[in-house]
Structure 1
Amino acid sequence: MAEPLHRLAIVVPTPAHSTVGGPLSYRSELPLAAGTLVRVPLGRREVLGVVWGEAPDEPDGPAREEKPVAGVLDGLPPLASAWRELVAFAAAYYQRSLGEVALAALPPQLRELSPEQWQRRLRRAAAAGGGAAVDPAPALTDEQAAALQRIGAEPGPFLLHGATGSGKTEVYLQAVAQALGADPTAQALVMVPEINLTPQLQARFGERFGDAGVVSLHSGMTNPQRLKAWLAAHTGAARIVLGTRMAVFASLPRLALVVVDEEHDPSYKQQEGARYSARDLALVRGKLDGAKVVLGSATPSLESWQASERGRYARLAMPSRIGAGPLPQVRLVDMNLQPKGTVLAPALAAAIEERIARGEQSLLFLNRRGYAPVLACTACDWKSECPHCSAFRVFHKIDRTLRCHHCGFSERVPRACPQCGNLDIAPLGRGTERLEEHLAQLFAGTRRPDGEPARIARIDADSTRAKGALEAQLGAVHAGAVDVLVGTQMVTKGHDFRRITLVAALNADSALFSSDFRAPERLFALLMQAAGRAGRDARQAGHSQMWVQTWHPAHPLFAALRRHDFPAFAAQQLDEREAAGMPPFAYQALVRAEARTQEVAQGFLREAAEAAQQLPEAPHVTVYPAVPMAVQRVANVERAQMLVESASRPALQRFLAGWQPLLQARRCKGLIRWAVDVDPLAI
């Protein structure tokens, strides 16, 4: 008697706004558990799929022909139910298709390997496994010990509010040891906001737990590296996963602890495809897996701070730096009182010179890479605009190019003005490359204690393009081979520079009067994080300084910064947000449209807004008029957006879910794509 065929619901890769949003039905001769990875036919291709369960009964009507499952990835445990629930939640909340989220969370190489290659990889993963041989941990301060005790005793989630240099990483290390020690199969996930922070974190965790049980997951890895790490985590061979935002979807079947370091950082929000917040999904994941969640920051996001104020998160306070050294003294330089064209105030230059002479290091940060933001003609109105974007191309002197940081379009610098032929074209403004050049000239006669000339170095996205460049440059800073470090904000986060005693922010004012209501929050966090790079060695902490050059020294943000008073700043900002009805007191989404013309993009959004009025939740949601985006043209594509807001998160979610088919039905000629961004970080 023939075996009955099993009808399975299988999730396959589908576009974001596919009319097929859920699993497809396939038949299998064998029963397959939910979470099993399979290969199935889709159109003319064979694709990777995830069994989601049994297929529902077909409604009355002509039966559809169901294709057979082509193969099963043998020897691989099914993906856990908590993982599938996380993916389903993320797809629904962020308004994406289930297939897009599920398959994007899996290593690309899973789809490409033959059965023979697959079995080889699986054998290697099993052979490479190793438990965690915990190394002795240092003694904790009273504040660290109290935080660790509460993490072990209470359910959480926890907000670890620790000053820079207070030893948050050691608390993470010992919390992981605590979780792994309580259960020989337990796993931990530790997330950081940026790839450049993972090598030093992996080194610390490797030293403490042994390299065999620790793996990294981030977008900078090759496909084979990513598959190897994913398999180690999925099979339990790796007990600790370190990673950036994508690691929130790692398959960790025995997850007991999740740590999100620098939880305030906007890098945790995905800006392409499914625009998820890894920090927020970490909290959801903790609930689904029964794992404890620790969010850590010296400057928590206002959403997390408010949650701890209201008792939804348990707040753990670590206000003191290790070694009892004080936080850096904050000095404001009023640029209104400086000579015209001043790059570095004389007092700041003198303070840097003193440090070079003492063998100490200084860090200057400027959030503009390149030599100058604009190249301009001195005779006419020509400026180095990008022909494909509504933005200027940045002048990079090192390779004599004009480069657009939005679309990547690059050209050699013209010999003369393309508009009038004038030979006198000059840089306007200042980027990190030009600042590095200026400092080299300024401190050309300054000597180190060994009599050698001062050494200036630059770390930004341009100087670290080559493989291994970032690690080499950070190594030079740690070794004392650099006296003055120039960089963008990538050098202000998370790095433990022991010799830096002076940090300076040279262009902090741009965020003070931004139209983005989150700009002051981001600026305060950046300045506090930057200040934390100074005086981390207790022997030098007494004379560490944070200098801020500003045209608005009386701004209240700087008053809170001088006192290192995050609670006061947060209270003032939350009062302003509540009065204005802004997050976290309201909930937002953006609908973005890209088209060949601005008229088509805005027309699509206007029609969508009119259609939305028929939805049941419309009375509880405000739909604002469509407007061009801040950079409205990128790579010859026009961009517009529309803000949607509600005082109720569930009402907004129901509204967006009901709106999706209406948006899909209004696709028109000239429209390239549209997307919904739930809980946007930039408006």
Structure 2
Amino acid sequence: MASDGANPAILRLAVPVPLRRLFDYLPPEGIDLSTLSPGQRLWVPFGGRKLVAVLVDMVPESPLAQLKPALELIDSAPVFDGCCRDFLHWAADYYQAPVGELYAAALPAALRKGKPADHWAEQWLQLTTEGKGLPETALSRAPKQQALLQLLLERGRQSRTQLKALDHSTATIRALQDRGLVEWIAGPTVPPAIPAAEATAPPELNEEQRQVLDAIPVDRFSASLLEGTTGSGKTEVYLRLMEQVLTGGKQALLLVPEIGLTPQTLRRIAARFPDRSIAALHSGLAEGERAQAWLSAAAGQADIVIGTRSAILTPLPRLGAVIVDEEHDGSFKQQDGVRYSARDLAMVLGRNAGVPVLLGSATPSLESLHNALSGRYQHLRLRQRAGNARPPQIHLVPTLGQQLEEGFAPQVLRHIGETLARGEQALVFINRRGFAPALTCDDCGWLADCPHCSSKLTMHRRQRQLRCHHCDYRRSLVDSCPQCHSRSLSALGGGTERSEELLARRFADYPVIRVDRDTTASKQALDRLLAPARDGKPCLLLGTQMLAKGHHLPRVTLVVIQDADGGLFSADFRAPERTGQLLEQVAGRAGRGDLPGRVLVQSRYPEHPLLQLLLEKGYGPFARQLLRDRAVAQLPPLRAMALVRAECEEPRWAEEFLETARTQMQALAPPSPQLSYLGPVPALLERKSGRFRFYVQITAEKRGQLQPLLARLCQWAEGNRNRRLRWAVDMDAQELS
């Protein structure tokens, strides 16, 4: 369809639907074309629905004969700049994802729903001409008004958000308005207020930290892996790099793996940079708060942006550096929808913007370590703990044949008691929440299974519930066997809730703080739970991997790992790597202050060679051995891998779809030493939420061999008409479950 004249009058839009292409529309009726620019959002009709789309381009003609007009322009100015749009399109091509869904993933929920960007424009309070002319002591008889007047004189205009955080009341503001001394004006948004913190001076850097900072250029792209032992001062390196970036008038982006790490990170950064604008981006924020923070970052007003995975998709017009903390963490990989890796996209973003990218971890992922060892990344190291802290002593506690009390060896309980008696803190790591992972009948062998998943129901005794931790199915805790009606039911295994009961009973004089998903469901809950531990009083911390990451608790001198064996015998080839990372991270919580630390690791298989290697030589030699094993098995990161997934309530349909998909791919690229196929095979968790799940695995010598193959596959698969079947391409897959 040609447009009238030579001017482009066809809108090419990214629509949030699972189709890998752009869609052509006519402009909204009566609109001035000069008001349209790529990056703006529009309401469009699509299949009987009204969706929010993003304008990507304007072209003079379309191959389609009939086009619908867009309904309405939402934005007066683009919300995505050109650099961000190029980045999102690259990511869509690489991950074989619908570009409209990637734009939707980049937007905060409020903007995804079509709310105007200026809906969150702040009201700012500023001095009038008369107010600026007053002497500093003019309102000394009204101290609250005087304090607010002084604030505006010293800092300039303040937003409602900032005034609320500083406890300036509406009555005080109104009194100054009545005097004609202040006035409200509309202005750009600011991020949600960061908890107040006293400014802190930076500590003295040690020689290793100085060498690392000197090796990172701030004026061009560089890719660096910072491998620093737990407690070695990686965060201080991040802060110094941020300082250099901010001095140059740029923005710094810090990615953290979990929401729970953001409050303490925010406090530390706010204390170091009290005069800088800081935006937080994570799913724990209210809808309006996240929209404000996103818009502040996208407008270049936020100097520092701290966020979880999706923050990598945010427009940052003044980007100066990207830092990924705990880069090994699996939460940086999106596991549904658009299956991107924020860690890997950080490298692309840095390269496009010409800025340094720093990946930090005490236990680097094998992917990043391989890139560092092969020279693709600069390999930086911090080998010594900061200050006077020393590495903890690690001891294996064999449990095979021992009489355990709720999973604890007698000597372990004795060490916990001695630690608390000295006025110190102990941390117990158990990577299972709930009271017990299974409930069984002693008479007939019945097990409480999830009706929707290939898994057992976990017993939560305090809530008197059986829950599935995969689909969240719940039912009341039964008192008798539903199969034979026997009342002889037994809880198999242990979880955090069961251990909490034992430890609270054994050490009744000390608080037991349980940290898992059940106790941290509310906003800021993790921060509140850990407050007593940060105060330094003797206590016992008990929890899952939420306790393993990033927490600085200098009074913890004993760490107990109740079960080190879980990932050593998994069918997932990545399980040993994750086990090693987790054990090393948990052990790193001990002895971070002046007091020496000790780690007790319980195991039924203390002679396992990987466990011995990890505990005797450390994570570095352990990871290098895993890399050698992966090379022999021709697995990532030595080879590129993608999965084609399918799931359906009828397993036969999913398997048939993948059989056909494999046939299609093999016709285009037959199996060879450089390219191999496996499957269809069931996922490790074969059934989830009532759907059976299978995948085909494709491994290749180079990623370039996979991209054209997967693109052709997606073209074919989009023609699949079975709406009860879901399929997805997972490039650089991290999970086989």
Which whole-Å CA distance do the structure 1 matches of 2:492 and 2:400 have between them? 20
Q: Aligned-pair distance for 1:644?
A: 1.5
Describe how 1:77-476 pairs up with structure 2 within 5 A: 77-112=78-113, 118=119, 120=121, 126=188, 128=190, 136-152=201-217, 155-182=221-248, 184=249, 186-210=250-274, 213-339=277-403, 343-444=407-508, 453-476=509-532
Superposed CA deviations along residues 214-250 of structure 1, whole A, max 9, x for unmatched, are 0110122221111000111011111110010010011
| Higher alpha-carbon deviation: 127-136 or 603-612 | 127-136
Find the counterpart in structure 1 of residue 646 from structure 2: 593
1:30 corresponds in structure 2 to: 33
State the AA in 1 paired with 2:408. Answer: L
Describe the shift of the 1:502–1:120 C-alpha distance in structure 2 as closer, same or farther (beyond 3 A): same
Does the 8 Å CA contact 1:12/1:23 hold for their aligned counterparts?
A: yes
Correspondence for 1:638: 692
Contiguous gaps of at least 5 residues in structure 2: 124-184
CA contact (8 A) 2:406 2:502 kept: no
Deviates more, 1:20-29 or 1:126-135: 126-135
> Partners of 1:155 and 1:275 in 2: how far apart?
25
Task: State the SS of the aligned residue for 1:423.
Answer: coil
The alpha-carbon distance between structure 1 residues 597 and 39, as it changes in their structure 2 partners (threshold 3 A), is closer
Q: Which of these residues, 697, 718, 722, is aligned with residue 664 of structure 1?
A: 718
Change (3 A) 1:328 1:274: same
CA distance in structure 1 between the partners assigned to 2:115 and 2:362 by the alignment: 48
Letter in 1 for 2:426: S
C-alpha deviations, 1:335-376, integer Å up to 9, x for none? 125236672222221211111101111111111100000111
Tell whether 2:585 aligns with 1:529.
Answer: yes
The equivalent of 1:71 in structure 2 is: 73
Aligned to 1:480: 536
8 Å Cα contact 2:79-2:298 kept in structure 1: no
Query: Is 2:595 the counterpart of 1:540?
Result: yes
- Matched residues in 1 for 2:324 and 2:98: separation? 26
Structure 1 residues 114 and 662: CA distance shift in structure 2, 3 A? closer
Say yes or no: does 1:494 pair with 2:550: yes
- Partners of 2:46 and 2:654 in 1: how far apart? 32
Question: Take 2:559 and 2:475, find their aligned partners in 1: how far apart are those partners?
Answer: 35
Aligned-residue sequence identity (percent) comes to 40
Q: Cα RMSD (Å) of the superposition?
A: 2.5
Partner of 2:561: 505
Greater shift in the superposed pair: 288-297 or 126-135: 126-135
Equivalent residue of 1:512, what SS? helix
Distance 2:103 2:273 in 1: 31
Q: CA deviation at 1:192?
A: 0.6
Q: Counterpart in 1 of 2:137?
A: none
Stretch moving more, 208-217 or 615-624: 615-624
Q: CA deviation at 1:49?
A: 2.6
| 2:662 alignment partner, SS class | helix
1:75-110 per-residue CA deviation (whole Å, 9 max, x = no partner) reads x45522221121111111111111010122112212
TM-score for the superposition, normalised by structure 1:
0.92
> Residues 427-447 of structure 1: CA distance to partner in whole angstroms, max 9, x if unpaired?
111011001111123334xxx
CA contact (8 A) 1:506 1:549 kept: yes
The answer on whether the counterparts of 2:15 and 2:23 sit within 8 Å (CA) in structure 1 is no
| Secondary structure of the structure 2 residue equivalent to 1:399 | coil
Q: How far apart are 1:26 and its partner, in Å?
A: 3.2
Q: Which protein has the larger Cα radius of gyration, Structure 1 or Structure 2?
A: 2
AA matched with 2:106:
A
In the other structure, the counterpart of 2:142 is none
- Deviation (angstroms), 1:564: 5.1
Residues 455, 239 of structure 1: CA spacing in aligned structure 2 closer, same or farther, 3 A cutoff?
A: same
In structure 1, give the amino acid aligned to 2:51: V
Q: What per-residue deviation string (whole Å, max 9, x for no partner) do you get for residues 362-419 of structure 1?
A: 1111111000001111111211111222211110011111111111111111121111
Given that 1:37 and 1:73 are in contact with CA atoms closer than 8 Å, whether structure 2 keeps it comes out as yes
Q: How far apart in 1 are the matches of 2:684 and 2:298? A: 42
How far the C-alpha of 1:121 sits from its partner, in A, is: 5.5
Query: TM-score scaled to structure 2, two decimals?
Result: 0.85
